[in-house]
Structure formats: C-alpha cells, structure tokens
Amino acid sequence: MSKTPETLALERSIWKATNKMGVFGCFEVTIGWYGKERVDYITFDTKGVWRCYEIKVSKADFRSKAHNTFCGNFNYYVMPRELFEEVKEEIPEHIGVYVDHGYWPFVKCIKRAKRQELSEDEQVLKDSLIRSLSREVAKKDKQLRLIEKEAQIQMI
C-alpha cells in the first residue's frame, strides 16, 4: 500500500526534526526477527535512549485497530494539528505528540512524552534497527544501480 502525501510529509518532517549528531533513526522498523509489530519511525541516541514515533494522519487512522508500537523510553504520535485537536483527550498521559506547524522543521513537540521502561529487550531493538537500516541501504543501492544502468543506456 502506498503512503499518502500527508504521511510522506510527516515522515520527512519528523526525520528533519530528529536528524542530529548522535541520533540514529530508521522508518518502518519491524521489532524482532519475525515480529508482528512495526514502528513507523524509531531513534536511538548515544546516551542509550530509544524513541518511537507513530504517524497518524486521520481520526480513523488514529482509532484503527492497527497496533501502536510504543516500545521506547519515550513514545510519540506525529500528526496534523487539526487531528491533535480532535483526539487530544484520547492520548495517554505518557505519550508525547509532535504536530505539523508549517515551518522549519515543520513538526514541533507540543506534548512531552514521559520516560518509560523499554517494553522490548534492548538487544532486540538494536538488532531490529540494524536489520532495518541494512534494508534501507539495499534499497538505495538498487536505486543507484538503476540510475547507472540508465546512464549507460544513454551513452550508447
């Protein structure tokens, strides 16, 4: 299933907001080797802190039966401000919220998350992050090989 333009915009925005020295992140991280849970975006920093982000673009998306994978020390929703206004009473006290606010870095934390104990073993989280980052490198390699092939065809 392809992502909506709004989902893609929120992904780019949360990446820009969290892309800092000493913070390592990846989208769509499946937890565990054969895990049924997938975090929309997860970060790990040099202080050993895990943050999980679930991207929601509509009230139906927010209320869907799809599992919210909040296994980090700090867990957040990332959503449009309008959606936050509609569902803010339904957000658990310990879950933080980033909302789209229209200017750099395009999302802003308006509700701080409260620190939690990890709900998964840290080594499982590290293995999951490494596996997902490797997948991203493989996708980039495939894109680059296609570009190289097109360039070779044009040279002929």
Q: pLDDT, tens digit, for every residue of 77-125?
A: 999 999 999 999 999 999 999 998 776 668 999 999 999 999 999 999 9
Average pLDDT, the chain: 90
Phi, psi (degrees; rounded to nearest 5) at 60: -65, -40
Q: Examine the pLDDT at 45 and tell me if it is beyond 70.
A: yes
CATH of the domain at 149: 3.40.1350
Phi, psi (degrees; rounded to nearest 5) at 27: -90, 155
pTM of this structure: 0.87
CA distance between the termini of the chain: 37
Q: How many domains are contained in the chain?
A: 1
**For residues 94 and 101, what is the distance between their CA atoms, to the nearest angstrom?**
22
Please tell me the predicted confidence (pLDDT) of residue 152: 75
Q: Examine the pLDDT at 67 and tell me if it is beyond 90.
A: no
Please tell me the predicted confidence (pLDDT) of residue 126: 96
Q: What domain range is 99 assigned to?
A: 5-155
**For residues 12 and 101, what is the distance between their CA atoms, to the nearest angstrom?**
13
**For residues 106 and 126, what is the distance between their CA atoms, to the nearest angstrom?**
28
Q: Examine the pLDDT at 72 and tell me if it is beyond 80.
A: yes
